[in-house]
Amino acid sequence: MHPTSAPFPTTRFRRLRASAALRDLTQEHRLSVKDFIWPVFIRAGENTVEPIASMPGVNRLSIDRVVEAARMADGLGIPAICLFPYTDTALKTEDCAEAWNPDNLTNRAIRAIKAAVPGIAVMTDIALDPYNINGHDGFVVEGRILNDETVEALVKMALAQADSGADILGPSDMMDGRIGAIRQALEAAGHRNVTILSYAAKYASAFYGPFRDAVGASGALKGDKKTYQMNPGNSDEALRLVARDLDEGADMVMVKPGMPYLDICRRVKDTFGVPTYAYQVSGEYAMLRGAALNGWIDAERSMLESLLAFKRAGCDGILTYFAPEAARLLNG
């Protein structure tokens, strides 16, 4: 129960807004460079920077260029970078074997970044969709996405990434039981300090479109992902999923997408008090960037306001494509 305020004019709320100094002193939530995980897209080749049409300002980078990007991010104080591969169509198969190839694009990029910029944390994505000819996060048999067989593949993928030096594994597939299986395998393999940031509450959202362009999965996807990603109408279910993933060994949890699901972020943080993250996804980025490029909103103010909203909703950090741009502003 909040105490009531004395009546006007004894209480004037505007007193504490009267100057920049007073507004700073009474601000409840703050955004920091240390809140950011920067998602980046990688592709084969050398010295390659390939623009993504549906995400203005975001590019696919060859490994040499992503190492440069990691060095830049580290210099800005961004603590972590997250890798998403654009996989050549020739490497996409029904069995998704490229997903756990020790020398696949992601694993080579992990090793290159950790060798050049050991201080930055490298996060990875664990799901089969970049390697699946069907575009799904799991194995597809007669139109059904198989759960348990997919989990076995995800474990192999996780171990290959941990062996390559990944600091944070991000299972984004939403298969049942995958956190427990991955945690047990990591412990058995001696990877005791590898962290799991679970995509615990990942919704079957319309806001992922530009991302699927970025990783080359849009054309491949047959059907939708509603049998494994969450129904946007549900919120209690998100808490059950988070509880399960924590029980199975997740160290941190994520809500995805971000801004349309700030209520979920708040419920997760209030209920569990664990490190809680949100992913400001490609569609959110594209909307803000597109409106700013058209002159409809202020680019810098809208970006920072959107990011601050995650902090207000209880998030400890944000995966955002705005990370370097926001970091430069916050660093002055």
pLDDT computed for residue 186 by the predictor: 98
Q: How far apart are CA 5 and CA 13, in angstroms?
A: 10
Q: At what angle do helices 299-312 and 282-293 cross, to 10 degrees?
A: 150
Q: How far apart are CA 277 and CA 74, in angstroms?
A: 20
Pick from 153, 151, 63, 164: nearest CA to 100 = 153
pLDDT computed for residue 1 by the predictor: 55
Average pLDDT over every residue of 203-232: 84
pLDDT computed for residue 69 by the predictor: 98
Average pLDDT over every residue of 165-189: 98
Q: What is the pLDDT of residues 101-140, one digit of tens each?
A: 999 999 999 999 999 999 999 999 999 999 999 989 999 9
pLDDT computed for residue 221 by the predictor: 79
Extract the tokens encoding 241: 């999923």
State the Cα angle at 108 between 104 and 111, rounded to 5°.
Answer: 145
pLDDT computed for residue 210 by the predictor: 72
Active-site residue flag, 202: yes
Active-site residue flag, 256: yes
pLDDT computed for residue 222 by the predictor: 79
Q: Across the chain, what does the average pLDDT equal?
A: 95
Average pLDDT over every residue of 7-28: 95
Report domain extents, the chain: 31-330
Choice among 202, 225, 269, 311 that is catalytic: 202
pLDDT computed for residue 218 by the predictor: 63
pLDDT computed for residue 213 by the predictor: 73
Q: Which helix (H) or strand (E) holds 202?
A: strand 195-202
Pick from 166, 216, 322: nearest CA to 259 = 322
Q: How far apart are CA 223 and CA 246, in angstroms?
A: 30
Q: At what angle do helices 299-312 and 323-330 cross, to 10 degrees?
A: 90
Average pLDDT over every residue of 156-177: 98
Q: Which CATH class is domain 31-330?
A: alpha beta
Residue 199, beta-bridge partner list? 254
pLDDT computed for residue 185 by the predictor: 98
Burial of 217 (0-12, 13-18, 19+ CB in 10 A): buried
DSSP, res 144: E
Residue 192 has pLDDT above 90, yes or no: yes
Pick from 195, 152, 176: nearest CA to 237 = 176
Backbone angles phi, psi at 328, to 5 degrees: -60, -40
pLDDT computed for residue 327 by the predictor: 98
Unique residue bearing structure tokens 């593949």: 153
Q: How many other β-carbons are positioned within 10 Å of the β-carbon of residue 29?
A: 12
Residue 204 has pLDDT above 90, yes or no: yes
pLDDT computed for residue 217 by the predictor: 66
pLDDT computed for residue 209 by the predictor: 79
pLDDT computed for residue 167 by the predictor: 98
Choice among 92, 114, 225, 256 that is catalytic: 256
